[in-house]
Amino acid sequence: MTTIAEYLAAAQIQAAPVDPAAPGAPKVTVGVPEGWQQVPPQMFPGSYGVWTQPPANGWADNTVLLVATFTPAVDPAELLSHAFADARQLPAWQDIDTDTADFDGLPSAAITGTYEVQNLTLWAYNRYIIVNSDSAQYLVQLTITTRNDSDGTAPTTILEGLSISA
């Protein structure tokens, strides 16, 4: 089971983080659940955006958005064939759903499941989307992690607000 990072390294493809303000960067937005806040960018260098709810008992449900550009470009189908490996290596990972359908016409793959960390069972969603523009190719990665016993409204809000424009 090869991860995306391992695939990129083996293929000698460089992935560089993209700043949301960079010229030509895709515009990616997510829905922000009530009570969640954006984390200052300097706390997570290289991220496109991070949002969390206030911590409770040592844990904060969160969303991490990463955007990277590739040099050279990748074959989207090949890259996305490795999309589920990272999640499936998490402790006690259990698949709930996988999806390889396009997202708004863009090549995409998503995996949803649960895993365990210390005394917590966490619900996780990872979606990878390939965006081609006139000047570059980008990978958008959205990761949502919540307590498994959360009511599910936060992931719904985040996903319903997910949009990408090149």
Q: What is the pLDDT of residue 60?
A: 95
SS3 109: strand
Per-residue confidence band for 18, with pLDDT thresholds at 50, 70 and 90: very high
Residues 51-110: tens digit of each pLDDT: 999 998 889 999 999 999 999 999 999 999 999 999 999 999 999 999 999 999 999 999
4-165 belongs to CATH 3.40.1000.10: yes
- Which residue from 132, 129, 155, 3 is spatially nearest to 66, judged by alpha carbons? 129
pTM of the prediction? 0.95
Mean pLDDT of the chain: 95
- Rounded to 5°, angle at Cα 37 from 35 and 43: 150
- Torsion angles phi and psi, residue 42, rounded to 5: -65, -15
CA dist 32 and 35 (Å) reads: 8
Kindly list the domain boundaries of the chain, sorted by start residue.
4-165
Section 141-153 average pLDDT: 93
Q: Give the CA angle between residues 159, 39, 86 to the nearest 5°.
A: 55
Q: For the residues 20-26, what does the mean pLDDT come to?
A: 91
